[in-house]
Structure 1
């Protein structure tokens, strides 16, 4: 039986192009599994449904390898599960020359060895890509900071009442408990707000 798996990362993205490819292969609608979810892990409802029905001798089609997922260690694990434990096959349409488990299967033990090496190489390349992506992100953040872009949560505001109570407490004119009563705060909240105020992460409201 031929199966198709289609994935996009968000609900807003269109799946039609991938679905069209699956239908052109003659795959029935009921055997095309579609997720609109991030590929960071494999806890996706339609992928899990696919895993439940795929059997020995079945052939799973993907438009591209990253449609299976973005976690390449996980991709290797899922690839081996499907092709070796379940004895089904996978074809990646974007590059059938490399990504077709049937070719490795026909080579017997040598094919498994070659497939292991191929998947290890895939993992290494993916890791390098992840590092490049992180580096580009870091460089982008540095450029943005140099251009005055600010990241993170905006500074919270506090009242002048808190500042006055804080000053009185620091001058030892009132106790911490007295300061808490003035601003109607519990100890944890009060000391957290004190730490934020002293670190400069709070703005004083003029209202």
Structure 2
């Protein structure tokens, strides 16, 4: 039976470089049409190109990946996908950065035990790294916010004549769409600014009475 070689490449975002993975697969003789690549997180296996790859694979094929974290970063799902690929479909997997994870070698009991043990360790490390990355990102965002850095789209400024526009709208002198257009706001932003405006006026009146 002819063994077809395939490669899987994954980077976490569109701005990450996949060249190292592609070069490693090319050195193993994997043709371009047999390389599948996703540019998204490894938190699960809901990835379009990976799904296409799995449908393409058949018993006896060989799948190359550079490292186990390129396959995924979820401990349980890595274990499950490895079982699907090697047991249910019947393909061989070669992890280039870890020679012990090559199912073509050591198919006896000891070889299988060692490969399973290495897979569990590397899967654990892959998920731990993902959790650490998320933790560092959260800490970085919190530190930036503490310094006054703002995230997301910039706030739309309230026009100087916002009060007059609101009064005209409340008196039905202008339509709601016209009020939004004059303020340059979306409906949600307008109502949020309106609540702030009314609360500010209420506080000013209360402070004037006191």
Work out the CA distance in 2 between the residues paired with 1:34 and 1:199.
56
Shift of 1:4: 1.8
CA 1:21–1:135 in structure 2 vs 1: closer, same or farther (change >3 Å)?
Answer: closer
Q: Distance in 2 between matches of 1:78 and 1:180?
A: 63
Aligned partners of 1:4 and 1:27 also within 8 Å: yes
Aligned to 1:8: 11
Query: 1:155: how far off?
Result: 2.0
Matched, 1:88 2:60: no
Change (3 A) 1:76 1:198: farther
Match of 1:38 in 2: 40
Unaligned runs of 5+ in 1: 169-173, 201-207
Aligned to 2:194: 194
Structure-2 change in CA distance of 1:197 and 1:84 (3 Å): farther
1:57 CA displacement:
1.9
Superposition deviation, residue 94 in structure 1: 0.9
Per-residue CA shift, 1:54-75, capped at 9, x if unaligned?
A: 1112221111222223444433
1:23 aligns with 2:14: no
**Contact 1:39–1:68 under 8 Å retained in 2:** no
Q: Cα RMSD between the aligned structures?
A: 3.7
SS in 1 for 2:137: helix
**When the two structures are aligned, how many residues end up with a matched partner?**
187
Change in Cα spacing, 1:179 to 1:16, as seen in structure 2 (3 Å) is same
SS, match of residue 153 in structure 1 = coil
5+ residue gaps, structure 2: 178-186, 201-210
Q: Normalising by structure 2, report the TM-score.
A: 0.67
